[in-house]
Amino acid sequence: MSLLSLLIFLPIVAGILILLLPSAWQQRYKYVALGAVLLQMLISAYIYINFDNTLSGIADQSTFQLVERIPWIRLNLGALGNLEIDYFLGIDGLSMPFLVLTSLVMLVALLASWDIQKNLKGYFALFLLLDCAVMGVFSALDFFLFYIFYELMLLPLYFLIGMWGGVRREYAAIKFFLYTLLGSVFMLLVIIGLYFSVTDPETGGHTFNMLHMMNPANYAQDSIFSVIAGQEIFGVSARLLAFIVLFVAFAIKVPIVPLHTWLPDAHVEAPTPVSIILAGVLLKIGGYGILRVCLSIFPDAAIQSAWWLGLIGVASILYGALNALAQRDLKRLIAYSSISHMGFVLLGIASATSEGISGAMMQMISHGFLSSMLFFLVGVIYERVHNREIPNFRGLALIMPRYTVFVMIAFFASLGLPGFSAFIAEAFSLIGAFNSQSINGLLPRWMAVAGSVGILLGASYLLWTLQRMFFGETRLWGGDEWKAKLTDVNGREVFALTSLALMSLALGILPSLAFDKMNASVLELIQLMNIR
Amino acid sequence: MDTFTKETISLLALIATLLPLFSFAGILLVPGSRDRGSFFSILNIATSLLISVVIFLNVWNKQPIHQQFDWFIIGDWRFKIGILINNLSALMLLLISFIATLVHVYSTKYMEGDPYIFRYWAYLGLFCFSMFGLVITDNLLLLYMFWELVGFSSYLLIGFWFTRETAVQANKKAFLMNRLGDLGFLTGIMIVFSQFQTLDVNLLFSEGGFFKRSLVQGDLWYFSSNHMPAVWLTIAGLAFFFGATAKSAQFPLHTWLPDAMEGPTSVSSLIHAATMVAAGVFLIARIYPIFNPTVLIVIASIGAFTAFMAATIALTQNDIKRILAYSTISQLGFMMLAMGVGAVAPAIFHLVTHAFFKCLLFLAAGAVIHELHHLKDKKGLDFDHQDIRNMGGLRKFMPITFITMLLASLALIGLPFTSGYLSKDAILIQSFEWAESQGSIARIIPYTALFASWMTAFYVARLIFKVFFGELRLNVLFGQAFSLHEAPVAMKSVLVVLAIFCLFPLFSLNPFHASHAWIIEGLPYFSTTPTVESYHILIPAVVSIAAIILILIGYKWYGKNEKAPDYTKAAVFRFSQEQWYLNRLYKVMFVDSVLGLARTAFSFDRTIVDGIVNFSGKIIIVLSAVSEWLDRKVVDGLVNGVASVARTIGNFVRHFQTGRLQHYLLFMILILLTFFVLKYFSQAI
């Protein structure tokens, strides 16, 4: 059993253990989960340290690392040939950073779950199942396996929001579930189409192997997605259509404007730890999917649609930021700011330049740390007074000084203060987008300039919030009762927040910690996009 | 002193830069009493000053130092950062560390007793670190990073008294306006990177650097194999200038600076007068080759206009710090004007001289404010301790403050024998020469600046006479005789040191002519305008004589307590006092409209975007209700129908099964009868 399988199934083992433990021990469940998550953290740290920067991955199995490929399902379907599904795992520079991110975000989310009271057995079991599914998505290289993990994420999330959420939790959970399912159902059609188009060069049978799908030579001459045949569906190129379908599926996760409205509702209703996972990891699956699947399998269609991708990116940046500016609920404000920040990811990806894609990757990692931190911070006051309306608080800096320090770090890091990761990420996404015109002519230069307005708006809503909630003389809607409840952050909270802040700081000062690991893969991806 | 190698000097520069950061981290991370940090941060900044002196002696008029190392790799591009110390940065390093050290010393008394003073020391450390980094870095991206960090530390210091509503409004405004400028800076970086694939200042802007080698042909701007439309060269220049406009408080992005006076006066002195606001001027000097003639004309016009506008506003303000703030804006306008007309060296020279006299003006004003505040607290009175209408006659109580501030004022006005005379007249002379070579319309520019310089004489005279001459107006206001004290030694001594730097000998041995000032000789001249000899005598004479006349008028109106003519009703006066109504205009034009747009976007998001989602959800619910109805009534109805038909038949037939023998016999007979009847008739047929 390789490290990746261990990473994926460790949470499941812990989850089963929790299910088996008697309910009388329910206060100890969290320690079991904590043990699993800590172990996972160690494994991913080990993977990070031993990761070979020079291997590029992307389309060549031999340059992937920690590869594990076991035949899983083999069915003779008669005339349809052999069904080949592999248990195929492996990582490259595009996926490895997310393993590290996921394990840290999971740890923080677990620390945020410390005071959950309701139905602990179910909560921690679902939490760990989610952990497993996310790790699986980032390591799977067989499209069928990828899809299984992808769909497996929905189940625990649905229950976690629907059972442990806020007042309108059922609405939010159903909305989230149906919205994402809508995207992935059509994805399944494309997967099946790809399966019938691609043959394994070794066995000659059809395959779900994603790496084979990236090589145009593996497509049957007259198959639906063949590059040469140029088949059409409803008068649209089949490959373009498939790209759009896959893009929409992942874009819902990112989310992009206008497919974003599930996100604010889900965040507002979800309990703090689920918000942390949602913003910290799940949104990144959208961006990762676009890179791993849309760009790598359909590079021709990606180039063709780059202009639109860039436009959607810019629209998300500006629209998300404007909406954030209009919020009164702190959590909803941060949810909209996520939309704005994820817009940079799309803009960077659309540029198809090494700066842009590296910037987009960096932005995903950085946003993973920072949005986790932000949602954790919202959770801190919500846990204490069950309220998070911005106008209900004033002058918190006087009664919660340490908390205010963390809020300032998180806010300034998010608005792109140099020294923190978001600055590097946004700067390079924009530089890449601007450079695109000179390098490959995909994006017009005004897009980068328009996108940069987002960093001004970002500063506006965050600073305005700081001014309204934290500065000035203390005045609280709940009066002295709130004042007594609003205690400063405790040790557990300080630990979680500090580790996130340090990660962001480390990446901001030494971007090479991430850039060096992913550079070979990014270059290989651009190479792949330019070949065809 | 020449024994230092390049490596040692870069290392020293790095240490000088990191020491204040060490103060920042050390004070915030190591817990202790609330008044900790003063000794630690003064020690660090003083060490930085010493190192700066060493660096200066080793670099000035010698080979520039340039050391690089790898930062990260992105794509095929190795991102290098490093240290570039030439005359310009060595001078800036020395200037900043010197003034910062003085302000640190001054602050020990000025900020004494503040409950959160450790944060003050920490923030000052962060500021000094960012400022040092800004001047020594060799890379535009890194310069941008420090540029933003400088803005961030300014944010922290303006909002140092964070419980004051006005202070937190002001720091937000300052940060956002600077951010707006930063968008320009970032755009400039994107253009440069896209064209040259590097952000190395030395490669780009040195003699024979990439910019010199790029050329514009027709509509295209070429560099080796790259090209882009030529308009982007102009945009790049304008974009960088836009960044500088925000940081150096030039029109139209100047409105944050007067509000920034909400911070402690020592902060205003260091950051918002002497050093940070000069960063824009420094940036322009650092990247000067990027500006094409079109952009230079824009820079000159904006500079002259800002100098003029700010001077008109300073004429009527009553808050002592606000007058000085507008005066700073005005002087920065002069520097920008100088940049625009090609007088790079005089611009930097003025930056240096201005740093000393403006720092002194603020610190002296701080001493006055400090004493009045003290009086206010001691006597429990309520008055605005920054309003010059409440002051007067202070020269009797605070002679040293008075004399030093007077010297600084003379330098600000630019009278002979002061440092300001040398630098300001150098700028004016060169702008007239430039206008001569440009043609008729460009002449407006130096005349605008000339007017601004005359107005300076008047508002400075008004300030000095109102504060230090006549009688203390508080006595009249409260009907008792107050007495004030001179500032404490720590503050007083700093004022004296700075006063020395307001005089000419430290800058040029010739008090009347700047052309042999060592700073000007040490900095590159980009100007190609021909010299007009007559200007070199005429302009200083005109400026000084008019200034003296205006000072005399000021003395008559404000110094002798004679009744000054009352203009407060005039529209022009209101226009000036309301600061050209720009704050209100911006609020309506930008703040309100963006917030309105945000609210519209949100209601659009709620009703339309989310509306469509919820609507499609509802449609599906309706559809499912319809299909459920169909299923129940039609599909299931059919099934149920069949069943009920069967049941009806069954019920009907059931009645025949009565179980009585008589009934069965009767049926049998009836059936037999029917049979026979039918048989009979069928045969008959």
Interval A322-350: pLDDT, tens: 999 999 999 999 999 999 999 999 999 99
What distance in Å separates residue B177's CA from the closest CA in chain A? 9
**Closest CB to B159 among A179, A395, A471:** A471
Residues in chain B closer than 8 A to A179 (CB atoms): 613
Q: Scan residues 437-496 of B and list those with Cβ closer than 8 Å to A.
A: none
**Closest CB to B605 among A323, A430, A471:** A323
A316 touches B: beta carbon within 8 Å: no
* Percent of chain A surpassing pLDDT 90: 53
Question: Phi first, then psi: what are they for A77, rounded to 5°?
Answer: -100, 25
Q: pLDDT, tens digit, for every residue of B392-441?
A: 888 888 889 999 999 999 999 988 888 888 888 888 888 888 888 887 78
Is pLDDT above 90 for A288?
yes
Q: What is the mean pLDDT of residues B350-356?
A: 92
Q: What is the mean pLDDT of residues B236-245?
A: 93
* Range of lowest pLDDT (B197-201, B219-223, B523-527, B533-537): B523-527
> In angstroms, rounded to a whole number, what is the distance separating the alpha carbons of residues B263 and B155?
9
* Angle (CA) B104 B107 B110, round 5°: 170
A473 touches B: beta carbon within 8 Å: yes
> In angstroms, rounded to a whole number, what is the distance separating the alpha carbons of residues B136 and B91?
11
Q: pLDDT, tens digit, for every residue of B359-403?
A: 999 999 999 998 888 888 888 888 888 888 888 888 888 889 999
| Beta carbons of B175 and A463 less than 8 Å apart | yes
- Residue A274: the pLDDT is 92
**Chains A, B: CB pairs < 8 Å:** 145
Question: For residue B562, what pLDDT band results from cuts at 50, 70 and 90?
Answer: low
**Closest CB to A463 among B146, B176, B609:** B176
Q: How far is CA A187 from CA A239, A249, A252, in A?
A: 13, 6, 12
**Closest CB to B176 among A418, A460, A512:** A460
Q: Scan residues 353-412 of B and list those with Cβ closer than 8 Å to A.
A: none
Cβ neighbours of B81 (radius 10 Å)? 18
Residues in chain A closer than 8 A to B74 (CB atoms): 354-355, 358, 428, 515, 519
Interface mutation vs chain B, best among A179, A181, A361, A463, most B CBs within 10 Å: A463
The mean of the pLDDT values for chain B is 87
The mean of the pLDDT values for chain A is 89
B596 touches A: beta carbon within 8 Å: no
B198 touches A: beta carbon within 8 Å: no
Dig out the tokens for A412 from the structure.
């300034």
Is pLDDT above 90 for A134?
yes
Question: For residue B469, what pLDDT band results from cuts at 50, 70 and 90?
Answer: confident
> In angstroms, rounded to a whole number, what is the distance separating the alpha carbons of residues B274 and B215?
37
Which residue matches tokens 């996926």? A95
Please say whether the beta carbons of B420 and B414 come within 8 A.
yes
Q: pLDDT, tens digit, for every residue of A520-529?
A: 999 999 988 8
Higher pLDDT, A404 or B217: A404
**Closest CB to A449 among B162, B187, B598:** B187
Question: For residue B2, what pLDDT band results from cuts at 50, 70 and 90?
Answer: low
Is pLDDT above 80 for A230?
no
Is pLDDT above 50 for A532?
no
- Residue A494: the pLDDT is 93
Residues in chain B closer than 8 A to A510 (CB atoms): 72
Q: In whole angstroms, how large is the CA radius of gyration of chain A?
A: 23
B345: left (phi over 0), alpha (psi -120 to 50) or beta: alpha
Higher pLDDT, A140 or B510: A140
Q: What is the mean pLDDT of residues A274-303?
A: 91
> In angstroms, rounded to a whole number, what is the distance separating the alpha carbons of residues B156 and B148?
12
Interface mutation vs chain B, best among A358, A456, A510, most B CBs within 10 Å: A456
Is pLDDT above 90 for A309?
yes
**Closest CB to B72 among A418, A423, A516:** A516
- Residue B98: the pLDDT is 93
- Residue B479: the pLDDT is 81
Does the model's ipTM exceed the 0.85 cut? yes
Q: What is the mean pLDDT of residues B654-673?
A: 84
Q: Are strands B65-74 and B77-85 parallel, antiparallel or unpaired?
A: antiparallel
Long-range contacts at B567-571 (CB < 8 A, ≥ 24 apart): none
Residues in chain A closer than 8 A to B81 (CB atoms): none
Q: Which residues contact A141 (CB under 8 A, 6 or more apart)?
A: A61, A64, A67, A88, A89, A90, A209, A210, A211
Q: pLDDT, tens digit, for every residue of B605-629?
A: 888 888 888 898 899 889 999 998 9
Question: For residue A310, what pLDDT band results from cuts at 50, 70 and 90?
Answer: very high
- Residue A227: exposed, middle, or buried by beta-carbon count in 10 A (0-12, 13-18, 19+)? middle
Residues in chain B closer than 8 A to A358 (CB atoms): 74-75
Q: pLDDT, tens digit, for every residue of B110-147?
A: 888 888 889 899 999 999 999 999 999 999 999 999 99
